[in-house]
A and B are shown apart, each in its own frame.
Chain A
Amino acid sequence: DQQVKQNSPSLSVQEGRISILNCDYTNSMFDYFLWYKKYPAEGPTFLISISSIKDKNEDGRFTVFLNKSAKHLSLHIVPSQPGDSAVYFCAAKEYGNKLVFGAGTILRVKS
Chain B
Amino acid sequence: EAQVTQNPRYLITVTGKKLTVTCSQNMNHEYMSWYRQDPGLGLRQIYYSMNVEVTDKGDVPEGYKVSRKEKRNFPLILESPSPNQTSLYFCASSFGGAKNIQYFGAGTRLSVL
Give chain B residues whose Cβ lies under 8 Å from the Cβ of A32: 98-100
CB-based contact A101/B101 at 8 Å: no
Contact of B100 among A36, A89, A97 (CB under 8 A): A97
Assign chain B's interface to a size class.
20 to 34
Q: Does B82 contact A (CB under 8 A)?
A: no
Whole-angstrom distance between the alpha carbons of A102 and B4 in the complex? 22
Give chain B residues whose Cβ lies under 8 Å from the Cβ of A18: none
The 8 A CB mask of A38-59 against B (1 = contact, 0 = none) is 0001111110010100000000
Q: Does B96 contact A (CB under 8 A)?
A: yes
Additional 5 contacts, C-beta under 8 A, given A36-B104, A43-B92, A43-B106? A43-B104, A97-B96, A98-B45, A102-B42, A103-B40
Which residues of B come within 8 Å of A, CB atoms? 4, 31, 35, 40-45, 48, 50, 58, 90, 92, 94, 96, 98-107
